[in-house]
C-alpha cells in the first residue's frame, strides 16, 4: 500500500534551502509552461451515477470557461451533496485549482492539503496537489517552500512518475546545481531523463542534456556516460542496449566525440582545465575505428589541444590519410583545409590533385576551402580557373557567384555572364547591386529586366528602391506606381512623399490605403498620426491619434495611439481605448 512520505530532506537539499536565491522573471516565465490540468479519466467518470456525472460535467464546464469563483461554488456543492463519491479526490483538487487560478494562492495551498491528507493514495490527484502547492509557493516568490514540495515529489516512488513531476524535478535539480551541489543535481536530471523518456520528451531532453554536459564537461567520466545512455535508451529510438553493446558501437563513440566538441570551449584562464579535458577524452576515444576519417581527425585535434605538439599532430593526419583512398579528391580537399596556412603541407596536398579528373563540385569545394580555411585568394582564383564552366548548370553558377560576391566580385561577375540563361545572369547581378545599393550599375540592369516577364516584378521593386535610397523620390514614386502589389507599394509611395516634405500627399496616400484595404485600415490611420507627429504638427497628430481610438477600438493600433497621447501629455483621453470619443 502506498503511503504518503513524511516531509524530510537530504542533507544537500538542506544546504540548498539555506542559500536559494530569489527567482528571476525569466525563470518564472519558463516554469509557467509546466501548468497543466488534471482531468477525471473516462473510466472513473463511467463509474459515477447519472446525477453525479451531470453535476460534475456542469462544474467542469464552468471551470473550462475560466469562471473560477463560480466553478469553486459548484465543486463545493458537489462535495456537500455527494460526499461519498469516488470523484471526491478530483473535486477537492479542482476546488483548490479554482482558488489558485483566482490568485488566492495561500488559500489554495491549504485546500491542496486536503487532497494530500485524506487521499494520499489517489496518486493522480495527490501528486498533482503536491506539484501545485510548490507552484503556488514559487509564484509567491518563496522558492524555499517550492523546493521542499518538489523534493518531496522527487523522492516519492509513485508521485515522481506523475506527468507534472518532470518539470518540478528539473527545477529542483537546477537549484541544486546553482547552489554548489552538482552531483545531487545530476542524479535528479538522470531520474527525469529515464522516467520521462516518452511521457514528457521536452523535460526528458532538457534533463538528458544536463547529464551529458556534466559527464562530458564538468566531470568527464566515460563509464558513467555509457551507463546513462543505456538507462535513458538514447540510441536506436529507445531500443534496449547493454553497456557491452555500446562499447562495440561506432554510433556511441561518434556521438561522444561530437559531445566533446560541443562542450569543449574554454576561456584563456581555463588553460589547465582545457588541457585535462582534452587529455582525458583523447585517451578514451583514441585507438578505435581507424577507418573513420572524421572520428580520427577529431581525436587528433583533441590530442593537439592537450599536448600542443604540432609535428605529432601532422604525423597523425598524414597517417590517417595514408589509411584511405589516395585519389579521393574530396579527402584531399578536406586535408588541405585542415593544414590551412601551413605552406609546406598545403603545397604537398595541393599537388596531389588531378584537376582533369575532378568534378566541378569538388573544385568548387576546393575554392571555398582555399578562401575560408586557408586564406589564400591567389590559390583560390587559380582553382576557380580549373572549373569547366561549359558543364556547370546555371543553378550551381548562381550559388557560387553569391558566395564569391564578397570574396572576388570579378569572378562572381564572370560566372553570371557565363550563364546559358543570360537574363538569369543579369538578374543575379542586379541582386548584387541592389544589396550594395549601387544604383549606377543596378538601374540599367533593372531597366532591361523590366521587359522580361519572368523578372519584371522583382526588377521594378529593385529599381524603385534603388531610386528611393538615392533620394530620387519623384522617380521612385513613378516606378512604385507601376507595381501591382498594393498596398505594399502604396506604403512606400507615402514614405517617399513624407521624405520630400509633402505631408498632405503622404497623408492622402495613406488615406487611400485606409479606404480601400480593410485589413490595413487601423495601421494606415496610425501611420497618418505618426506622419503628423514627425512633421511637428501637434494638433493634427493629436486629432489623428484620437481618431484611431474612436474608429479602431480594441486594436493594437488603438493601444499604441493611447500610449502616444499619454507621452504627448494628453491626459483627457476619456476613459482609455474602448471608451475614447473623437472631439
What digits encode the pLDDT tens for the residues 284-303?
999 999 999 999 999 999 99
Radius of gyration of the chain (CA): 34
pLDDT value, residue 559 = 92
User: Hunting for cell 493629436 — which residue is that?
Assistant: 542
Residue ranges per domain, the chain? 273-324, 486-583
**pTM of the shown model:** 0.71
Average pLDDT in the 116-133 region?
Answer: 91
Cell triple for 256: 561522444
Pairwise pLDDT comparison (574 vs 202), residue with the higher score: 202
The per-residue pLDDT for range 222-247, each reduced to its tens digit, is 999 999 999 988 776 556 789 999 99
Cell triple for 38: 488534471
Give the CA count within 13 Å in the CB-facing half-sphere of 487.
Answer: 18
Distance between CA 357 and CA 369 in Å, rounded? 19
Pairwise pLDDT comparison (37 vs 488), residue with the higher score: 488
pLDDT above 70: percentage of residues in the chain? 91
CATH of domain 486-583: 1.25.40
pLDDT band of residue 151 (cuts 50, 70, 90) is confident
- Count the Cβ atoms, other than its own, within 10 Å of residue 561: 28
Q: Tell me which DSSP letter residue 325 carries.
A: -
pLDDT value, residue 236 = 65
- CA torsion angle for 91, 96, 101, 102 (degrees, to 10)? 110
3-state secondary structure 262-299: HCCCCCHHHHHHHHHHHHHHHHHHCCCCCCCHHHHHHH
Q: How far is CA 306 from CA 221, 225, 279, 287, 301, in A?
A: 17, 21, 5, 16, 9
Instruction: Please choose, from the candidates 575, 559, 565, the residue with its C-alpha nearest in 3D space to the C-alpha of residue 543.
Output: 565
Average pLDDT in the 556-580 region?
Answer: 75
- DSSP per residue, 90-138: HHHHHHHHHHHHTT-HHHHHHHHHHHHHH-TT-HHHHHHHHHHHHHHHH
Report the chain's mean pLDDT, rounded to a whole number: 89
Q: Mean pLDDT lowest for which of 11-25, 162-176, 190-204, 406-420?
A: 11-25
428 three-state secondary structure = helix
Amino acid at each position: 500500500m502506498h503511503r504518503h512520505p513524511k516531509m524530510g530532506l537530504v542533507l544537500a537539499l538542506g544546504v540548498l534551502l539555506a542559500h536559494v536565491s530569489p527567482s528571476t522573471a525569466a525563470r518564472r516565465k519558463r516554469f509557467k509552461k509546466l501548468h497543466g490540468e488534471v482531468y477525471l479519466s473516462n473510466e472513473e467518470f463511467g463509474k459515477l451515477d447519472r446525477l453525479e456525472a451531470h453535476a460534475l460535467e456542469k462544474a467542469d464546464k464552468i471551470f473550462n470557461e475560466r469562471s473560477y469563483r463560480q466553478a469553486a461554488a459548484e465543486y463545493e456543492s458537489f462535495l456537500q451533496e455527494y460526499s461519498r463519491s469516488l470523484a471526491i479526490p478530483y473535486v477537492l483538487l479542482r476546488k483548490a485549482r479554482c482558488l489558485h487560478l483566482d490568485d488566492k494562492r495561500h488559500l489554495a495551498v491549504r485546500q491542496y492539503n486536503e487532497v494530500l491528507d485524506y487521499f494520499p493514495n489517489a496518486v493522480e490527484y495527490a501528486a498533482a496537489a503536491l506539484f501545485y502547492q510548490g507552484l503556488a509557493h514559487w509564484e509567491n516568490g518563496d522558492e524555499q517552500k517550492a523546493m521542499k514540495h518538489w523534493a518531496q515529489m522527487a523522492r516519492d516512488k509513485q508521485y515522481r512518475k506523475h506527468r507534472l513531476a518532470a518539470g518540478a524535478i528539473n527545477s529542483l535539480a537546477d537549484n541544486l546545481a546553482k547552489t554548489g551541489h552538482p552531483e545531487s543535481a545530476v542524479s535528479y536530471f538522470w531520474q527525469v531523463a529515464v522516467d520521462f523518456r516518452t511521457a514528457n520528451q521536452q523535460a526528458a531532453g532538457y534533463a538528458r542534456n544536463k547529464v551529458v554536459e556534466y559527464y562530458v564537461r564538468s566531470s568527464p567520466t566515460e563509464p558513467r556516460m555509457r551507463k546513462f545512455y543505456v538507462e535513458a535508451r538514447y540510441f536506436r529510438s529507445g531500443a534496449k542496449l547493454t553497456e557491452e553493446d555500446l562499447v562495440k558501437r561506432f554510433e556511441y563513440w561518434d556521438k561522444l566525440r561530437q559531445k566533446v566538441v560541443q562542450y569543449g570551449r574554454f576561456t584563456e584562464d581555463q588553460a589547465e582545465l582545457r588541457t585535462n579535458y582534452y587529455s582525458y577524452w583523447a585517451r578514451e576515444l583514441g585507438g578505435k575505428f581507424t577507418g573513420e576519417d572524421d572520428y580520427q581527425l577529431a581525436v587528433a585535434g583533441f590530442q593537439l589541444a592537450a599536448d600542443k605538439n604540432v609535428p605529432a599532430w601532422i604525423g597523425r593526419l598524414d597517417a590517417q590519410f595514408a589509411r584511405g583512398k589516395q585519389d579521393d579528391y574530396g579527402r584531399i580537399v578536406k586535408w588541405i583545409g585542415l593544414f590551412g596556412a601551413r605552406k609546406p603541407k598545403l603545397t604537398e596536398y595541393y599537388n596531389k590533385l588531378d584537376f582533369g579528373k575532378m568534378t566541378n563540385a569538388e573544385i568548387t569545394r576546393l575554392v571555398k576551402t582555399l578562401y575560408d580555411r586557408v586564406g589564400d585568394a591567389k590559390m583560390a582564383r587559380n582553382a576557380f580557373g580549373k572549373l569547366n564552366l561549359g558543364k556547370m548548370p546555371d543553378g550551381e553558377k548562381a550559388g557560387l557567384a553569391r558566395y564569391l560576391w564578397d570574396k572576388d566580385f570579378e569572378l562572381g561577375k564572370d560566372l553570371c555572364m557565363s550563364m546559358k540563361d543570360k537574363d538569369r545572369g543579369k538578374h543575379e547581378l542586379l541582386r548584387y547591386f541592389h544589396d550594395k545599393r549601387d544604383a549606377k550599375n543596378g538601374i540599367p540592369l533593372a531597366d532591361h529586366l523590366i521587359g522580361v516577364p519572368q523578372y519584371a516584378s522583382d526588377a521594378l521593386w529593385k529599381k524603385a528602391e534603388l531610386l528611393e535610397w538615392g533620394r530620387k523620390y519623384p522617380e521612385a514614386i513613378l516606378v512604385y506606381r507601376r507595381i501591382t502589389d498594393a498596398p505594399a507599394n502604396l506604403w512606400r509611395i507615402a514614405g517617399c512623399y513624407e521624405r520630400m516634405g509633402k505631408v498632405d500627399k503622404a497623408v492622402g496616400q495613406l488615406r487611400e490605403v485606409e479606404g480601400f484595404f480593410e485589413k490595413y485600415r487601423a495601421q494606415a490611420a496610425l501611420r497618418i498620426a505618426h506622419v503628423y507627429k514627425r512633421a511637428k504638427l501637434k494638433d493634427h497628430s493629436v486629432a489623428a491619434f484620437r481618431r484611431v481610438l474612436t474608429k479602431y477600438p480594441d486594436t493594437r493600433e488603438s493601444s499604441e495611439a493611447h500610449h502616444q497621447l499619454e507621452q504627448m501629455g494628453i491626459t483627457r483621453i476619456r476613459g482609455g481605448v474602448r471608451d475614447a470619443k473623437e472631439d
